[in-house]
Amino acid sequence: MTDRTTLEQRIQRLEDIEEIKKLTAVYSDCVNKGWLGKEVALDRLPDVFTPDATWTCAALGVEVHGIDSIITVLAEKTAGGSFAMHSFTNPIIEVHGDTAVANWLLWVATGGNTSPNEVHQSEDLRYTRTPDGWRIRSLEVHFGQLLLTP
C-alpha cells in the first residue's frame, strides 16, 4: 500500500507532534515547584488549556470543567508539600487535522514536610489546534501506583 500523504502533510504532522510535546512540557512546568526558587505558575495555564477544558481524576473524585475551575483545583492540589516534579514520558500521539489524542506515562516526585514520595500514573489528553496554537482540551488522570516513604 502506498502512503498518499504529501511531504508537506508529513512535515506538518511532525511539527504538530513536537508542539504537543512542548505544550505538555509547559503544563508540567506550570505545576512543578521546589528547586532553584521554582514556584507553581497557575497563571500560565490559560495559555495551556482551552477555556472550556476538562480535568478529571476519578481516584480523587475530581472532574472540573473550564479553565477557572482547573486553576482552582490545581491550586488546592499543589498547595501542600514543598516539592513536585512531573515527568511525562512515552507519548503515543495521534494527530487528526486540528485535533489530537495522546496517552502519556507520568512519574511525579513529591516532597512534603518530612519525606519524598512517588506517583506513577498515566494520563489521556485531548488537544485542539486554536488560532494561538495547540491547547489541551481535556486531561484524564489514571493513578497506577503511589509509593510513600515511611
Q: pLDDT tens-digit profile of 3-55?
A: 688 999 999 999 999 999 999 999 999 999 998 999 999 999 999 999 999 99
Residue 39, in any domain of the structure: yes
- Can you tell me the distance from the alpha carbon of 94 to that of 141, in angstroms, rounded to the nearest whole number? 18
Say if 69 falls within a structural domain: yes
On whether residue 48 sits in a domain, the answer given is yes
55: domain range? Answer: 7-148
The total domain count for the chain is 1
Query: Could you report the per-residue pLDDT of 71-81, keeping only the tens digit for each?
Result: 999 999 888 88
| Residue 127: band (very low, low, confident or very high) from pLDDT cuts 50, 70, 90 | very high
**The domain that contains 121 carries what CATH number?**
3.10.450.50
In this structure, is residue 1 part of a structural domain?
A: no
Residue 64 inside a domain? The answer is yes
pLDDT above 70: residue 114: no
Q: Is residue 85 part of a domain?
A: yes
Give 58-100 pLDDT, tens digit per residue. 888 899 999 999 999 999 988 888 899 999 999 999 999 999 9
What is the rounded CA–CA span in Å between residue 115 and residue 137?
34
Domain membership of residue 2 (yes or no) is no
Residue in the structure block whose three cell numbers are 507553581: 40
With respect to residue 32, please indicate whether it lies within any of the assigned structural domains: yes
pLDDT for 112 beyond 90 = no
Model pTM score: 0.92
Separation between Cα atoms, residue 82 and residue 73, nearest integer Å? 17
